[in-house]
């Protein structure tokens, strides 16, 4: 890790200080394994002839235990390259199943894996890449009840999650256990990566002390992601994991890497450890795991209050339409989502136009407003805005258009 030091240099006619950048590598995270087999030497030969890695570094990788949280967009390339690199034990935790919409970016799964648990599909792909890797499958959701126990069995955690609640939980567990946390984030054409390790630098909370307001940052499921972006950021995560495990190079500890795929631009920002950080600061106020769903908020309190008693099902909406009731069906998704699939008769008014108030005057006063989005979160936020504007009988569709597809019209494409 680069540290700026000031050296006093004396001259005959002056005295000055020079700021020099000195690269200091962190110590290797794990000890080397006793030996590599003949087949392993053949397999990893291109690593072994790199002086910085060599036999010692490869033995450290063999002896390492790495857990990847999620076998999705980031987890797919991360797991495959960790396996190919020769990490001896790979843990995979994921409770989801493979969906066809995953295959655009989650390259660890294939067509024949649709419907299978992601953790099992990932295990099979890892074994195909490298049979010398010991794969530990955790086919379950990561929660406060199991995260400390699961993490304690690994040297390093690679995060492939896509929601803030889990990221804060992963960070806090890593800080409490003293584990390095290799983090990545992707959205549309943009990616970020860093290494959070409280022993040597900042943690995730130092960078993001508070989560964004609920609904402010759309998920990849709502906003989309360029499939190959997962490989770009996932490979950076693996590179950082290898450097930390083997003790080589300058890891992204105390630095944030930002990648813009459209501009093909990488830049790195220095981030400092926050002395007042709630979990890794000198006077930490978080000493155990907290309620992360409550901390991050799935939806705002106003949205929860508005949705209480004003949520209908997709079947309820179907009945309203069949009876030709006087309703005004509003789709609050984005135009590109509307182009993919829509409920017949729905009028597109994107969420930001409702929350800003720009669209309120155009809404009819003589019909009941029925809102829907993809899954129900965005429409709940819009529902709160309508209630505050005087549309007291407005409702929204719980589960959104996905519920409509699942229960009313399975012929429509899901995304």
Per-residue pLDDT of the chain (415 residues; tens, 9 = 90+): 443 333 333 333 333 333 334 344 799 999 999 999 999 999 999 999 999 999 999 999 999 999 999 999 999 999 999 999 999 999 999 999 999 999 999 999 999 999 999 999 999 999 999 999 999 999 999 999 999 999 999 999 999 998 999 999 999 999 999 999 999 999 999 999 999 999 999 999 999 998 887 666 777 777 889 999 999 999 999 999 999 999 999 999 999 999 999 999 999 999 999 999 999 999 999 999 999 988 887 677 788 899 999 999 999 999 999 999 999 999 999 999 999 999 999 999 999 999 999 999 999 999 999 999 998 989 999 999 999 999 999 999 999 999 999 999 999 998 8
Collapsing DSSP to helix, strand or coil, 156 comes out as strand
401, part of any domain: yes
User: 279 and 392 share a domain?
Assistant: no
Domain boundary among 242, 264, 296: 296
User: 377 and 311 share a domain?
Assistant: yes
4, part of any domain: no
- Which residue in 270, 290, 274 sits closest to 282, CA to CA? 274
User: 237 and 95 share a domain?
Assistant: yes
Q: CATH number, domain at 312?
A: 3.40.250.10
User: 111 and 151 share a domain?
Assistant: yes
Q: CATH number, domain at 111?
A: 3.40.50.720
Q: What range does the domain containing 324 cover?
A: 301-407
- How many domains are contained in the chain? 2
User: 285 and 352 share a domain?
Assistant: no
Q: What is the pTM of this model?
A: 0.78
Sheet holding 181-187, edge to edge: 134-138, 89-93, 65-69, 156-159, 181-187, 190-196, 255-260, 265-270
User: What DSSP designation does 213 have?
Assistant: P
| 373 catalytic residue (yes or no) | yes
**80-101 burial by CB neighbour count: b if 16+ within 10 A, else e?**
bbbbebbbbbbbbbbeebbeee
204, part of any domain: yes
User: 285 and 305 share a domain?
Assistant: no
88, part of any domain: yes
User: 171 and 251 share a domain?
Assistant: yes
Distance CA 144, CA 141 (A): 10
- pLDDT computed for residue 298 by the predictor: 65
User: 243 and 218 share a domain?
Assistant: yes
Diameter over CA atoms, the chain: 97
110, part of any domain: yes
Of residues 174, 203, 373, 382, which has the active-site annotation?
373
131: its two tokens: 């049979």
397, part of any domain: yes
User: 169 and 187 share a domain?
Assistant: yes
279, part of any domain: yes
- pLDDT computed for residue 215 by the predictor: 63
Where are any strands of DSSP class E within 88-196? Answer: 89-93, 134-138, 156-159, 181-187, 190-196
User: 124 and 227 share a domain?
Assistant: yes
Domain boundary among 245, 272, 296: 296
| 174 catalytic residue (yes or no) | no
User: 227 and 360 share a domain?
Assistant: no
Domain boundary among 296, 316, 331: 296
10, part of any domain: no
User: 312 and 186 share a domain?
Assistant: no
Of residues 174, 220, 230, 382, which has the active-site annotation?
220
């Amino acid at each position: 890790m680069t540290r700026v030091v000031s050296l006093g240099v004396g001259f005959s006619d002056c005295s000055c200080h020079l700021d020099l950048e000195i690269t200091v590598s962190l110590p290797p995270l794990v000890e080397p394994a006793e030996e590599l087999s003949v087949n392993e030497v053949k397999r990893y030969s291109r690593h072994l002839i790199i002086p910085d890695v060599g036999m010692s570094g490869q033995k450290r990788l063999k002896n390492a235990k790495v857990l990847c949280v999620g076998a999705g967009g980031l987890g797919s390339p991360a797991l495959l390259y960790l396996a190919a690199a020769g990490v001896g034990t790979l843990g995979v935790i994921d409770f989801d199943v493979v969906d066809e919409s995953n295959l655009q970016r989650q390259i660890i799964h294939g067509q024949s894996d649709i419907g299978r648990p992601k953790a099992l599909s990932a295990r099979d792909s890892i074994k195909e890449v490298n049979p010398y890797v010991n794969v530990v499958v955790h086919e379950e959701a990561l929660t406060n009840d199991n995260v400390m126990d699961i993490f304690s069995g690994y040297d390093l955690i690679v995060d492939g999650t896509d929601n803030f609640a889990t990221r804060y939980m992963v960070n806090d567990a890593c800080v409490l256990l003293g584990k390095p946390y290799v983090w990545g984030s992707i959205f549309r054409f943009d990616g970020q990566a860093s290494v959070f390790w409280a022993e040597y630098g900042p943690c995730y909370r130092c960078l993001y002390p508070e989560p964004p307001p609920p609904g402010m940052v759309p998920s990849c499921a709502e906003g989309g992601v360029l499939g190959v972006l997962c490989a770009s950021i996932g490979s950076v995560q693996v590179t950082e994991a290898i450097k930390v495990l083997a003790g080589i190079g300058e890891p992204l500890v105390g630095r944030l890497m930002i990648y813009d795929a459209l501009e093909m631009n990488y830049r790195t920002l220095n981030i400092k450890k926050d002395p007042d950080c709630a979990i890794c600061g000198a006077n930490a106020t978080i000493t155990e795991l907290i309620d992360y769903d409550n901390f991050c908020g799935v939806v705002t309190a106003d949205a929860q209050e508005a949705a209480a008693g004003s949520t209908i099902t997709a079947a309820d909406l179907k009945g309203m339409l069949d009876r030709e009731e006087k309703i005004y069906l509003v789709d609050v998704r984005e135009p590109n989502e509307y182009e993919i699939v829509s409920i017949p008769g729905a009028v597109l008014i994107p969420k930001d136009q409702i929350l800003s108030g720009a669209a309120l005057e155009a809404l009819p006063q003589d019909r009941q407003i029925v809102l829907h989005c993809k899954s129900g979160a965005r429409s709940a936020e819009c529902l709160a805005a309508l209630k505050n504007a005087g549309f007291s009988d407005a409702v929204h569709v719980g589960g959104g258009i996905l519920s409509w597809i699942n229960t009313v019209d399975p012929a429509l494409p899901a995304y």
